[in-house]
């Protein structure tokens, strides 16, 4: 009988020890679970921080790539300009001998300046046969009205082709191609056209078609120039011009940051920046590489300008006049210094509907392809030699 309490006591003691062991194990498990939870939280936080760091690094690398491209274009442009200056210096050294170190009067200085100007003009004709400028507008023909109030219509200005290209609007990704002007005029809207889808949408109304390529400004913060192969339907090249802080080149067409133009000598870019926001600038481009060959700051104001175009190295800027329904070429800038706005004839455009959204010169036909409030218009130009104005 005495052994029963002892047994009970031992049993209770064993049960207590067992419960204590269970409690200890539960506390250890809880501690481990808390540590695992903490590790998971830290792991998630570290992963998030790594993702943020990766995104920052990617953004910085993209910014560095853009700066590298801009620097490369700037260096190429500077190299091209230096080469051109060296060629001009070599030319002047071969054409003029060393001047004696004596005092000369004002008349002799004027004669020397005139002689240098004449030699520069002669050099221009040695480099290019293009010496024409606008004398007047002979005729105006309204073909039809299609699309929105702004856009571009043109032919391939580099080849003698009958195909017509339509860029409807200022922020689209489609080119409409017609086999001929006749198909375009007899088409109901754009029904007879063939659609060419662009990988990157265009911005503004500055597009041109040249030697089977479409050149346009893409919808990007960097105002990137895109070269699109119309045959393969692929982008073959693109470039960011070495300018910053663009402003609309024409105040009456704020959608167009850069207006591309083609003349007898190739591809041009008409633009404006905040550094010189009162006036329009001009750049000659290499159509193959999209490099900048040379740049000029013109005296043509942006205010009240609606469109521009280039003929034989001369920029013509069209302004809205005080007369209802009329506009005129009010500023002329010749990169060779042969003519100025004061020497150029007054050129008025016939009565129109609104503001010219675009004016594209075709050197194959001596025609201006105009987009005016949705109307597609042709202007027949009368040309004359630049030297005729200087005689």
Q: Per residue in 269-285, pLDDT tens?
A: 999 999 888 999 999 99
Of residues 89 and 25, more confidence is placed in 25
Is 260 strand, coil or helix?
Answer: strand
Does the pLDDT value for residue 265 go beyond 70?
A: yes
Confidence label for 250 from pLDDT (cuts 50, 70 and 90): very high
Domain limits, the chain: 1-98, 131-390
Which pLDDT belongs to residue 315?
A: 96
Mean pLDDT of the chain: 84
Distance CA 238, CA 261 (A): 17
Query: Is pTM beyond 0.75 here?
Result: no
For residue 291, give the nearest of 245, 225, 221, 208 by alpha carbon: 225
Range 131-390: architecture per CATH: Beta Barrel (2.40)
Which two tokens mark 134?
Answer: 């606008």
Percent of the chain whose predicted confidence (pLDDT) is above 70: 84
**Phi then psi for 88, rounded to 5 degrees?**
-65, -40
For residue 358, give the nearest of 216, 253, 270, 228 by alpha carbon: 253
């Amino acid at each position: 009988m005495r052994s029963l309490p002892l047994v009970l006591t031992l049993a209770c003691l064993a049960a207590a020890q067992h419960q204590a062991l269970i409690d200890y194990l539960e506390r250890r498990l809880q501690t481990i679970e808390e540590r695992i939870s903490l590790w998971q939280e830290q792991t998630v936080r570290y992963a998030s921080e790594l993702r943020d760091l990766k995104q920052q690094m990617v953004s910085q690398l993209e910014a560095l790539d853009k700066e590298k491209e801009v620097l490369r274009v700037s260096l190429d442009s500077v190299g091209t300009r230096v080469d051109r200056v060296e060629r001009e210096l070599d030319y002047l050294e071969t054409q003029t001998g060393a001047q004696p170190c004596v005092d000369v009067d004002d008349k002799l200085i004027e004669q020397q300046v005139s002689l240098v100007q004449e030699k520069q003009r002669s050099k221009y004709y040695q480099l290019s046969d293009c010496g024409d400028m606008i004398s007047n507008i002979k005729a105006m023909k309204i073909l039809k009205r299609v699309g929105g109030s702004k856009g571009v219509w043109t032919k391939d200005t580099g080849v003698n082709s009958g195909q017509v290209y339509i860029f409807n609007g200022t922020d689209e990704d489609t080119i409409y191609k017609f086999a001929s002007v006749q198909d375009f005029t007899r088409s109901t809207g754009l029904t007879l056209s063939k659609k060419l889808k662009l990988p990157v949408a265009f911005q503004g109304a500055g597009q041109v078609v040249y030697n089977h390529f479409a050149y346009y400004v893409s919808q990007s913060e960097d105002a990137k120039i895109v070269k699109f192969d119309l045959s393969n339907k692929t982008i073959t090249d693109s470039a960011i011009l070495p300018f910053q802080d663009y402003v609309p080149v024409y105040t009456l067409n704020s959608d167009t940051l850069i207006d591309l133009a083609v003349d007898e000598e190739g591809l041009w870019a008409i633009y404006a920046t905040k550094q010189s926001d009162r006036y329009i600038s001009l750049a000659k481009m290499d159509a193959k590489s999209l490099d900048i060959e040379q740049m000029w700051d013109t005296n043509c104001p942006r205010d009240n300008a609606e469109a521009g175009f280039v003929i034989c190295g001369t920029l013509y800027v069209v302004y809205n006049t005080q007369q209802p329904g009329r506009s005129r070429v009010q500023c002329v800038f010749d990169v060779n210094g042969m003519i100025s706005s004061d020497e150029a004839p007054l050129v008025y455009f016939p009565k129109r509907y609104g503001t010219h959204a675009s004016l594209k010169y075709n050197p194959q036909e001596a025609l201006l392809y105009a987009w005016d409030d949705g109307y597609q218009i042709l202007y027949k130009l009368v040309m004359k030699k630049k030297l005729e104005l200087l005689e």
